[in-house]
Amino acid sequence: MRRIAVIGLGLLGGAVAARLLRGGFRVAGHDVRPAQAEALRPQGLEPAASAAAAVAGADAVFTILPSLASVETVYLGPGGLVESAPRSATLIQMSTISRALTLRLAEAARARGLAFLDTPMSGTSGMVARGDCTIFVGGEAAHVEACRPVFDAVARKTLHVGPVGAATLAKLATNMLVGLNTAALAEALVLGAKGGLDPAALVEIFRDSAAGSRMVEVRGPLMAERRFAAQMKLELFLKDFALMLEEGQGLGVPLPLTSLTHQLCTAAVAAGHGGEDLAAVITTLERLAGLDA
């Protein structure tokens, strides 16, 4: 595989495209915001005016889009990928969506003779840019192996977790822990701050204790230093929470902590932090504690 198309060049999509370019692949990209593609042109990206133009001649097509509706339109809408992608291409769906939509896309692709992989990532855009992320893959083993050089250019590790749909569920469970861990970290920092502890010092204490975690490493400094530039936008994580709760309802699994964290993040978005990083959930807890933001 040498020619790759990337549809969706936001925080994650742009990071994926940049990794592929550094890996020596020829990459065409499309985003509904042309500036996103133009920003990557100096790195070698070939901007495309449409998804159909981007996938012409592609060996693999990555889709990294913000909503279920956008994914459905790009795949199944008029002139969508199921219609326009070369029959020899592998469709690599990286957006966080529902299992139901994942299975529907896979069936539509199969009916057209296209290979389809369910491949959400675990990692912030900064982690993806450094190659410090994990790709979960659901699909046929032969298709996974054919795409492994492409995945290796993007991620530190690629895990084949089962058939199509299995990777989506694994991603939702993983993001559940990310969200709950982030909220717990914020709550602990607010408790310490209300009692007079320096947040940066407390982050170091967490790092060197049994409380250490990847979210302490990634989001602890962001919270302590009030740096909320988005690596994963709060408003997009709300979509993930809704998918988790939907999955839990369908499987008969109560998710009380997830539900509460969803509400805390909803409050942060309502207060104007939707475009900021998930770390900004701390602002809601600060307000509840009577601390000045």
Both tokens of 208, joined, read 């060197």
8 A C-beta contact, residue 267 and residue 174: no
8 A C-beta contact, residue 122 and residue 149: no
Strand partners, 157: 134
Q: How high is the pLDDT of residue 188?
A: 98
Every domain of the chain with CATH number 1.10.1040.10 lies at: 169-288
* pLDDT at residue 217 is higher than 60: yes
Query: 3-162: which CATH topology?
Result: Rossmann fold (3.40.50)
| C-alpha–C-alpha distance, residues 40 and 209, integer Å | 41
Helix (H) or strand (E) holding 194: helix 166-194
For the segment 137-191, what is each residue's pLDDT rounded down to a tens digit? 999 999 999 999 999 999 999 999 999 999 999 999 999 999 999 999 999 999 9
pLDDT confidence bin for 1, thresholds 50/70/90: low
The yes/no answer on whether domain 169-288 falls in CATH 1.10.1040.10 is: yes
pLDDT confidence bin for 124, thresholds 50/70/90: confident
Question: What does the pLDDT average to over 77-83?
Answer: 94
| C-alpha–C-alpha distance, residues 101 and 93, integer Å | 11
Nearest to 49 by CA among 33, 60, 64, 63: 33
pLDDT confidence bin for 231, thresholds 50/70/90: confident
- Tell the residue number behind the tokens 């709760």, with chain if given: 245
For the segment 260-280, what is each residue's pLDDT rounded down to a tens digit? 999 999 999 999 999 999 999
| C-alpha–C-alpha distance, residues 25 and 173, integer Å | 32
pTM above 0.75, yes or no: yes
Q: How high is the pLDDT of residue 269?
A: 97
Both tokens of 257, joined, read 């902590």
Every domain of the chain with CATH number 3.40.50.720 lies at: 3-162
* pLDDT at residue 251 is higher than 90: yes
For the annotated catalytic residues, the residue numbers are 171
pLDDT confidence bin for 293, thresholds 50/70/90: low
The mean predicted confidence, pLDDT, of the chain is 95
Q: How high is the pLDDT of residue 194?
A: 96
